[in-house]
Amino acid sequence: MSGGARSPIVGIDLGTTFSLVAVLEQGVPRLLPNAVGEVLTPSAVSVGDDGSLLVGAAAAARATTHPERTALAFKRDMGTERKVLLGELELSPQELSAMVLGALKRDAELALGVPVAEAVVTVPAYFDDVQRQATRAAAEIAGLKVERIVNEPTAAAIAYGLHHRDRELRAVVLDLGGGTFDVTVLEIMEGVIEIQSSAGDSRLGGGDFSVVLAEWAAARREQAGEPDLRSDRQGWARVLQAAEEAKRRLSELETTRIVAPQVPVQGGARVDLDLAVTREQAEAAWAGLLERLRAPIVRALGDAGLAPHQVDEVLLVGGATRMPCVVRLAAQIFGRLPLRSLPPDEAVAMGAAIQAALKEGNASVEDLVVTDVAPFTLGVESAVQFGQQFVNGVFTPILERGTVIPASRVRQFGTIADGQQSIRIAVFQGEHSLCRDNRLIGQYQVRVPRGAAGAESVDVRFTYDLNGILEVETTVCSTGKAETLVLEQTPGRMAREEIERARRAMAKLKFHPREALPNATALARGEALYLELTGSRREELGLVLARFRAALDRQEDAAIEACRLELLQAVGALRRG
């Protein structure tokens, strides 16, 4: 990298399915390759046969052969207490994400030739405070300083705006990745990118379309009297992989087949799955998911005060937007064909790199200004009095969604009983009138002087920063005593000691050597395909695998490279065939 040995700030798209790392060089985002020469790194972790940890492509390839030792889609569980058991290791979503971030950090350092200590990381716009804090904790465990967290569709808008900063237009970004869906309405004017609204669904992505297609196939087989394809974990992993591949082919073809030979089912039996599926059948099965896509789009437009016809351009981001049904839905809503002017899988990482350059004060983007908004409403639980009766559990907003950030808002709350000595502040995120229908972010007690009902009150101030991180400050009005409070531990929120403990534990783990990852990845991809094939094609691949293993045993570099290339070519040819 030019500019000597200065440590750059990198941009990272930490995705549900794939993750990427990028930097801005000479005013242009550059995606950095991983150990196998690819820019897309699967967000996957697996425990190898020798007990070492594999991250990325090699881990993803083991999902069908070793599903019980492989973790995927753990980003969806960020900010929860869920643990994943991989061999002897029990890992949290933060720790698994830290492994992916650590791999991206090492890849960036190798590509740039300098240490990397800081990153700008993207998250779904609808990630709440707990999930954002969990993302920051994962980065800390990986040895990365993260001061700036950016919403994924905002990052995509930044990447788009870099190429169109001389234009004036209103645009909508539809970001459908592997596990999340975000909608952002923005306006570009004279180099200023103003985010006007955001909405989304943090548990809806391309992976859900694959699951529904797999469920459709399983149901069809059950109707024909066949065994349940979901009854065996490894077998179901095979079916999900076959459905994923069929889903991708249906983006180009009107009909294809969901094929998974010799799928293990409960009881030790094996069955062959070979089922024709048309695009029409798949889209009928996906009808519920497509309807879920519509709701955030309508909400984002409403928050921005726009009708669909007032939008100049619709931008598609995320690999799942390649599906024709998604393109068609966007065209129906907006009355125009959407654009895919940037690579769907890469736009978010490109925007993260630009945001990193903005943070560094890079001269090539000094004329670019970005504003953002709060994607959801934040408030507290309160009690409302009707005559002599109090109704508890009412959600009282303090900071409304759509507020330009950073922002600070305050509301006052009082005691409701004689002699009350404390006020419980329970912080919620959501859009429902009752707290029980929203998400609890955290809660704490504020001490107040004893007095008559209504005699004491506190000001509760919410400060929401550019990263979507919430700070809560309370002031007891009668005494003027103010405190900036840390919310009590909520599920998935890691304390400082836990982060440090996880960092120390991570340092002791045995990771597969980076220089050997190309071989491990080729072998894992070959084994995954071998599991699917039958007959002469399987026998052909078996011979190639045997030659590669023999070369690895002999530790002859030239032979290993030749056999690895032969294996990758064979895998590509057999998959196409």
Q: Which residues are catalytic?
A: 13, 75, 152, 175
Nearest to 300 by CA among 489, 204, 147, 431: 431
Token pair of 313 as six digits: 């351009």
The phi, psi pair for 370, rounded to 5°, reads -125, 130
Q: For the purposes of burial, counting CB atoms within 10 Å of the CB of 72, is it exposed (0-12), middle (13-18) or buried (19 or more)?
A: buried
Token pair of 430 as six digits: 């959501």
**Could you tell me which residues come within 8 angstroms of residue 57 by beta carbon, excluding any fewer than 6 positions away?**
34, 36, 38, 41, 42, 44, 517, 521, 524, 525
Measured in whole angstroms, the distance separating CA 176 from the mean position of its chain's CA atoms is 10
Buried b (16+ CB within 10 A) or exposed e, 180-212: bbbbbbbbbeebebbbbbbbbbbebbbbbbbbb
Give me the torsion for CA of 81, 100, 106, 570, rounded to 10°: 160
DSSP-assigned states of every residue in 487-539? PPP-TTPPPHHHHHHHHHHHHHS-BPPGGGHHHHHHHHHHHHHHHH--HHHHH
**Angle, alpha carbons 260-263-267 (nearest 5°):** 165
Q: Which CA distances in Å does 508 have to 195, 502, 505? A: 43, 10, 5
Token pair of 277 as six digits: 């599926």
- Tell me the pairing of strands 53-55 and 70-72: unpaired
Return d(Cα 562, Cα 548) in angstroms, integer: 9
Token pair of 306 as six digits: 């726009």
Measured in whole angstroms, the distance separating CA 207 from the mean position of its chain's CA atoms is 12
**Could you tell me which residues come within 8 angstroms of residue 501 by beta carbon, excluding any fewer than 6 positions away?**
none
In contact, 102 and 21? CB cutoff 8 Å: no
Return d(Cα 361, Cα 364) in angstroms, integer: 9
Q: Which CA distances in Å does 443 have to 45, 294, 421, 425, 453? A: 34, 33, 17, 6, 22
In contact, 1 and 8? CB cutoff 8 Å: yes
Return d(Cα 223, Cα 220) in angstroms, integer: 5
